[in-house]
Chain A
Amino acid sequence: MKTFKKAKSIVAAIVLGLGVSQVQASDQSLLNSSYDIARELFASYNEHFAQYWQEKTGQTVEIRQSHGGSSRQAQAIIEGLRADVVTFNQVTDIDILHQRGKLVPADWREQLPNASSPYYSTMAYLVREGNPKNIQNWDDLAHEDVSSVFPNPKTSGNGRYTYLAAYGYAQQAFPEDQDAIDSFVRTFLNRVAVFDTGGRGATTTFVERGIGDVLITFESEVNNILAEFPDQNFEVVVPKVSFLAEFPVAVVERHAQRNGNLELARAYLEELYSEDAQRLLAGFNYRVHNEVVQQEFSEQFPEVELLTIEQIAGSWDSAMEVHFASGGKLDQLQRR
């Protein structure tokens, strides 16, 4: 808690410093609070948006970015960080902005197309050179000789998505057979070699320490790792069925209003759905809804049946309660 507060005050100081120095330079400024690994993505999008906004309104705009674990970012906003928009990687982190402080409207999911998720991704596999264990789908991960690496679902959203993807696969494979579903997911969890606390830790374990036959993480991350370590000749496998990982966005209306930014903030998020922006997002290995861009990038994104949280667990609230709460399904399946 203490380090968190400290981090917050550092962020605030940086933000303040930037704000002061750039007041004269731009007509308007906007603060985007985002998740950890989206720094480059939004740096690139901000450039695009600033240009678009100037052409449209003749005004210059300065967009400031704040990045961190998205749950912590949400906490910081609840505690007073005056972000105008949030671009997160977990629906629950925006929900909490409504639940604790009514900072976003209850129907924020209906404010923008595709449930306010301009881009999405799914859980994919990174396997070692030549895919020696021939890993193609979730059932291959339950084999006795396969060991997998993904972050702990208890401490990481990334890990939760992986768990839900495997669970959703099992629901399809063993319809109406709860025992078979449980036993599959239990075996799947037993094949994990190391449970790191976060996504980056799991990547290090798989890539640098050489642990495990497969790393499971976001498709976007898998492709980034592939590009980052070309000499390791990893291969990407996208399973036939996986989980729809949404990247939701919302205007923090309470704050944007106070900052006099409501219109700008809305435009900032709406522009994410434009063809140019969608192309930019696809370039960062995220899947998008724009059909023209989908066509252009069709080779990069193999077909996959995406299961939604509603299909797997009804809703995020019930997923958290049934699966991830203390003593929930996950705990039961990990019990010895």
Chain B
Amino acid sequence: MSLAITSAISLNPSKRVLPGFALSLGISLLFISLILLLPITGLLLQTAGMSWNEYWSVISDPRVVASYKVTLWAAAWASAFNGVVGLLLAWVLVRYEFPGKRIVDALMDLPFALPTAVAGITLSALFAENGWYGSILAEAGIKVAFTPLGIIVAMSFTSLPFVVRTVQPVLEDLAVEDEEAAISMGGSDLTVFRRVIFPSLWPALLTGIALSFTRSLGEFGAVIFIAGNMPYVSEITSLMIFIRLQEFDYAAASAIASVVLLASLILLFLINIWQAFYLRRIHGR
């Protein structure tokens, strides 16, 4: 409790670094409106010319529905994979010292820096049956490039930094004393991880996984080169939107886009609610 009070007091002066609450809030709201709300409104307005029946028939077209399933499954697998690997990477980067650590740390952001189309082409070259990884996997009878598995690979590549970068700072702030106390009280490694470390990391990890998931829902550039894009099998929802745009059917494109947008918003909203609830429970605030 005292910790919360002191931090509240110490935070107070820093609020005044920026001039005037009204001004800073005003700029923030204006920015949010211009950059976020206006384009989203524009998107929804594109669909305004459609009747409800037209809208429904566009978003419930069997091929589009198949693409939702492919996209959702692939994004789920990719973000689950990223949850495990991202946690591991963040752990290694925070808890261990090793030569070249800074380079590895910098490399984590590479998927964000790389144009996604380049990532897609590179991954499909590596995972094609005549590629470095693909030829080895082919011997085991696993095909990655031009299958739904390729979609998972591309999605997981482009969204891995979300998990690493959200977990890393929380892990850095985690007091080592808590762990030491737990160990001195006879907790096994597993118990310490499960009962002490993991509960503190969990909200950040979940946020990272959720960001990774929503990013994967919308990924286009990287996926398109490795997916194979077979109707009903490996077509992602972004491709459905792209096809409608090619047909100059902006309303239908926006209709499908609005489904993706809604799914992402609902997910992020639920995670936020759950997180607030969870934090209140473990911190007793």
A residues whose Cβ falls under 8 Å from a Cβ of B:
71, 152, 154-155, 192-197, 201, 204-205, 208-211, 324-327, 331, 334-336
Contact = CB atoms under 8 A, between A and B. Distances in A.
A205 B129 CA distance: 11
Interface of B: 58, 61-63, 66, 121, 124-125, 128-131, 145-146, 224-225, 228-232, 239, 242-244, 246-247, 249, 252
Contact of A334 (B231, B239, B252): B231
Contact of A195 (B129, B229, B249): B229
A326 B63 CA distance: 11
A106 to B, nearest CB: 20
A192 B243 contact: no
Q: Which of A197, A209, A211, A324: most chain B CB closer than 10 A?
A: A209
The 3 A-B residue pairs with the shortest CB-CB distance in the complex, in nearest-first order: A209-B128, A195-B229, A210-B130
A155 B146 contact: no
A209 B246 contact: no
Consensus secondary structure, chain A interface: loop
B229 A197 contact: yes
B122 to A, nearest CB: 12
Q: Which one of A154, A192, A211 has the highest number of Cβ atoms from chain B below 10 Å of its Cβ?
A: A154
A204 B232 CA distance: 23
A326 B245 CA distance: 12
A208 B125 contact: yes
A331 B66 CA distance: 14
Nearest to B252: A326
A295 B131 CA distance: 44
Nearest to A152: B229
Given A155-B242, A197-B242, A209 B125 contact: yes
Given A155-B243, A192-B230, A195-B230, A334 B63 contact: yes
Contacts of A193: 146, 228
Contacts of B232: 334, 336
Contacts of A205: 146
B101 to A, nearest CB: 36
From A71, A193, A197, A204, residue with most partner B Cβ within 10 Å: A197
Given A193-B146, A336-B232, A326 B224 contact: no
A326 B247 contact: yes
Contacts of A194: 146, 228-230
7 contacts: A71-B246, A204-B121, A209-B129, A209-B146, A211-B146, A324-B247, A326-B252
Contacts of A334: 63, 231-232
Given A211-B146, A324-B247, A334-B232, 19 more contacts: A152-B229, A154-B243, A154-B246, A155-B242, A194-B228, A194-B229, A195-B231, A197-B242, A201-B225, A204-B121, A208-B125, A209-B125, A209-B128, A326-B244, A326-B247, A326-B249, A336-B62, A336-B66, A336-B232
B207 to A, nearest CB: 29
Contacts of B131: 209
Contacts of B146: 193-194, 205, 209, 211
Contacts, number: 65
A155 B246 contact: yes
Contacts of A204: 121
A14 to B, nearest CB: 22
Nearest to A204: B121
A195 B228 contact: yes
A331 B232 CA distance: 11
User: Which of A192, A194, A201, A331: most chain B CB closer than 10 A?
Assistant: A194
A194 B130 CA distance: 15
B195 to A, nearest CB: 49
Nearest to B232: A336
Contact of A209 (B66, B145, B229): B145
A210 B143 CA distance: 14
B123 to A, nearest CB: 11
Contacts of A335: 62-63, 231
B193 to A, nearest CB: 42
Contacts of B229: 152, 194-197
B130 A209 contact: yes
A5 to B, nearest CB: 14
A76 B165 CA distance: 41
B243 A209 contact: no
Given A194-B146, A197-B224, A197-B229, A210 B129 contact: yes
A162 B265 CA distance: 41
B248 to A, nearest CB: 9
A210 B128 contact: yes
A7 to B, nearest CB: 15
A195 B225 CA distance: 10
A101 to B, nearest CB: 15
Contacts of A327: 61
Nearest to B245: A1
Contact of A325 (B124, B225, B242, B247): B247
Contacts of A197: 224, 229, 239, 242
Residue in B66, B121, B247 with the greatest tally of chain A CB atoms within 10 Å: B247
Nearest to A210: B130
